[in-house]
């Protein structure tokens, strides 16, 4: 029997030949380089949230876009028709938003040429890919926020804070009270979290003032969105500042100087429009849950009072109010402080340290709200108000509206995800570049169009900032004008919030605002805010000394 000739790895006809010292380097990667490349590739993700094993990120995106078989004009027409179809289904035919938006998203994906069934690029895979990660982020925040809201409601803290705010500013200035609260809380907390955290206060002020919740919820949300778009540590503002090399302080000063006047005009528009709608009887005043009489002990006197309503709000006598108000302020500011501390830690000490990692962990929104939930339960609810089920019972009652909120939000995410997967964003960039608009106007218009198309402020402003960073020589423009360019991009990112925006449905479902009212107040209000901010930014662009591009 002949012995099989042994082969050394890397030699012979089956392996790469040994390379002389002066020979050119082979284009074939070594096994070690291949392993490193595969590891990096496995860590990458494509735009629809699925892993791309063994393939770099750009390969997945280009392959998905190659599967889109539709011209740019037809894609724009398809998107416009899909939005019209959504409005008809939701507003006119009263179909549930999740069913309407998911169905339209599937039809739109088929119109774009996506296959019906495909494990990688099928329309169902795209919807599933964007829906899963988004709901995984939204669901815990909404759930914990609702539990905190139930605790505040049971303690009577919402009513107490509403009474204090109305005593300070007057009943006629209740909108001013919630706007100030929105600016403070929204400065460091993400939009949806801030809206849910302030919901008990808004509903309490609405009941005490005898006005519909929309009167206070929409202005509050506009104020939250204003600081969400322009102030670090919010992701959109950080992405714009990082991409363009803008100083955070300069961005905050110029952003607030232009965005706050825009917010004031947008709030004024929304308030007047809401007044006209309410005059026709189109807005309900919030009430307690369906009547279910409960007996609760009044903390000060131990007297027993019978309250109507599904929630066991405690009577707040003066002595109780004196103790409750500081505790309530601790609960409302605790998540803000935790998130702010984590952000400052990341900025001051970006390197990983044991203490820094702990602070960043505690400042994660989900962790911060979880800690706040426990603190609120301990500080705000006496034993007499906790019931026999404890925090489990409070959570069960508080989580009742979560399904409606999350499903409606998920429908908007699915619709926006299909549009994003079409690759139309890149085509929009090319078309607007051909228009040769002034740089500050180009940044605003492109961000507004992408915001309306993709349904998310962060994605829109990040895309535009990345494009501008690669096409504009920022060294040839002074820092002030670069900061103004960043403000213009952020202003475009707040415009045209509509049915494909998750925040649209959080606001609509949590405060029971009809879709038609949302479109005529919220959508128009935030667009007015963005346009006013962009106008002021453009004026400063040409008035301030420097080198406008």
How many whole angstroms separate alpha carbon 105 and alpha carbon 418?
Answer: 6
How many whole angstroms separate alpha carbon 235 and alpha carbon 231?
Answer: 9
Task: Judge if 389 and 345 occupy the same domain.
Answer: yes
- The pLDDT of residue 535: 96
Give helix 235-244 / helix 214-230 axis angle, nearest 10°. 30
Q: Is the dihedral of CA 359, 364, 370, 373 positive or negative?
A: positive
Q: Cα dihedral angle (401, 406, 409, 414), rounded to 10 degrees?
A: -150
* 189 alpha carbon, distance to own chain's centre: 10
82, with CB counted inside 10 A (0-12, 13-18, 19+), is buried
Task: Judge if 397 and 449 occupy the same domain.
Answer: no
Residue 196 domain boundaries: 140-234+284-401
DSSP H or E segment with residue 307: strand 304-307
- The pLDDT of residue 475: 61
How many whole angstroms separate alpha carbon 126 and alpha carbon 105?
Answer: 10
548 in any annotated domain: no
Task: Judge if 486 and 381 occupy the same domain.
Answer: no
pTM of the model: 0.62
248 in any annotated domain: no
3 in any annotated domain: no
How many whole angstroms separate alpha carbon 40 and alpha carbon 353?
Answer: 24
- Residues 335-352 have a mean pLDDT of 79
24 in any annotated domain: no
How many whole angstroms separate alpha carbon 413 and alpha carbon 129?
Answer: 10
32 in any annotated domain: no
Q: Which residues pair with 45 in a beta bridge?
A: 51
Task: Judge if 394 and 458 occupy the same domain.
Answer: no
Task: Judge if 158 and 117 occupy the same domain.
Answer: no
Task: Judge if 381 and 407 occupy the same domain.
Answer: no
CB 323 within 8 A of CB 337: no
DSSP H or E segment with residue 175: helix 174-185
Task: Judge if 352 and 431 occupy the same domain.
Answer: no
> What percent of the chain has pLDDT above 90?
13
Final residue of a structural domain among 340, 367, 401:
401
425 in any annotated domain: yes
How many whole angstroms separate alpha carbon 238 and alpha carbon 491?
Answer: 14
DSSP H or E segment with residue 139: helix 123-155
549 in any annotated domain: no
How many whole angstroms separate alpha carbon 188 and alpha carbon 191?
Answer: 9
Q: What is the pLDDT of residues 42-54, one digit of tens each?
A: 333 333 333 333 3
Task: Judge if 162 and 311 occupy the same domain.
Answer: yes
Q: What is the pLDDT of residues 131-149, one digit of tens each?
A: 777 777 778 877 887 788 7
Final residue of a structural domain among 401, 426, 460:
401
Task: Judge if 297 and 197 occupy the same domain.
Answer: yes
pLDDT band at 158 (very low <50, low <70, confident <90, very high): low
How many CB atoms are located within 10 Å of the residue 112 CB?
Answer: 23
| pLDDT, greater one: 365 or 109 | 109
Final residue of a structural domain among 367, 401, 435:
401
Task: Judge if 447 and 383 occupy the same domain.
Answer: no
5 in any annotated domain: no
Task: Judge if 394 and 479 occupy the same domain.
Answer: no
pLDDT band at 63 (very low <50, low <70, confident <90, very high): very low
Q: Which residues contact 319 (CB under 8 A, 6 or more apart)?
A: 300
Domain count, the chain: 3
How many whole angstroms separate alpha carbon 13 and alpha carbon 7?
Answer: 9
Task: Judge if 477 and 442 occupy the same domain.
Answer: yes
């Amino acid at each position: 029997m002949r012995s099989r000739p042994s082969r050394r790895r890397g030699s012979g006809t089956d392996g790469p030949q040994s390379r002389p010292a002066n020979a050119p380097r082979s284009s074939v990667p070594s096994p070690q380089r291949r392993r490193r490349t595969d590891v990096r590739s496995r860590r990458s993700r494509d735009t629809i949230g699925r892993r791309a094993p063994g393939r770099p990120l750009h390969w997945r995106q280009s392959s998905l876009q190659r599967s889109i078989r539709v011209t740019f004009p037809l894609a724009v027409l398809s998107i416009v028709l899909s939005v019209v179809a959504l409005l008809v289904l939701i507003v006119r035919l009263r179909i549930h938003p999740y069913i309407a938006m998911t169905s339209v998203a599937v039809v739109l994906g088929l119109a774009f040429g996506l296959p019906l069934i495909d494990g990688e690029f099928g329309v169902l895979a795209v919807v599933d890919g964007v829906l899963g990660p988004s709901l995984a982020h939204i669901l815990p925040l909404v759930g914990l926020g609702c539990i905190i809201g139930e605790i505040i409601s049971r303690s009577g803290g919402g009513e107490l804070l509403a009474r204090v705010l109305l005593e300070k500013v007057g009943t006629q200035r209740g909108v001013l009270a919630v706007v100030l609260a929105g600016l403070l809380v929204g400065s460091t907390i993400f939009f949806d979290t801030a809206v849910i955290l302030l919901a008990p206060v808004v509903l309490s002020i609405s009941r005490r003032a005898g006005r519909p919740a929309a009167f206070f919820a929409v202005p509050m949300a506009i104020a939250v969105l204003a600081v969400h778009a322009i102030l670090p540590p919010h992701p959109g503002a950080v992405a714009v500042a990082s991409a363009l090399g803008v100083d955070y302080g300069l961005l905050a000063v110029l952003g607030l100087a232009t965005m706050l006047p825009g917010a004031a005009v947008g709030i004024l528009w929304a308030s007047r429009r809401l007044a006209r709608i309410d005059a026709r009887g189109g807005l309900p005043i919030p009430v307690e849950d369906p009547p279910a009489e409960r007996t609760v002990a009044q903390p000060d006197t131990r007297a027993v009072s019978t309250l109507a309503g599904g929630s066991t709000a405690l009577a707040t006598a003066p002595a109780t109010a004196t103790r409750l108000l500081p505790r309530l302020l601790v609960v409302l500011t605790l998540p803000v402080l935790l998130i702010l501390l984590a952000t400052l830690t990341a900025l001051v000490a970006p390197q990983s340290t044991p203490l820094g990692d702990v602070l960043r962990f505690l400042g994660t929104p989900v962790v911060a709200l979880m800690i706040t939930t426990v603190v609120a339960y301990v500080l705000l609810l006496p034993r007499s108000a906790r019931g026999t089920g404890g925090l489990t019972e409070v959570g069960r009652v508080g989580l009742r509206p979560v399904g409606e909120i999350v499903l409606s939000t998920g429908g908007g995410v699915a619709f926006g995800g299909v549009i994003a997967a079409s690759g139309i964003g890149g085509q929009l960039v090319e078309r607007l570049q051909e228009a040769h608009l002034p740089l500050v106007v180009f940044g605003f218009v492109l961000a507004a169009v992408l915001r309306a198309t993709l349904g998310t402020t962060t994605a829109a402003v990040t895309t535009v900032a990345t494009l501008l960073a690669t096409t504009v020589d920022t060294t040839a423009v002074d820092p002030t004008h670069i900061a103004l360019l960043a403000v213009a991009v952020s202003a475009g990112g707040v415009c045209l919030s509509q049915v494909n925006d998750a925040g649209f449905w959080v606001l609509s479902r949590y405060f029971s605002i009809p879709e038609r009212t949302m479109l005529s107040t919220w959508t128009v209000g935030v667009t007015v805010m963005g346009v006013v901010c962009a106008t002021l930014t453009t004026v400063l662009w040409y008035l301030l000394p420097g080198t406008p591009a």
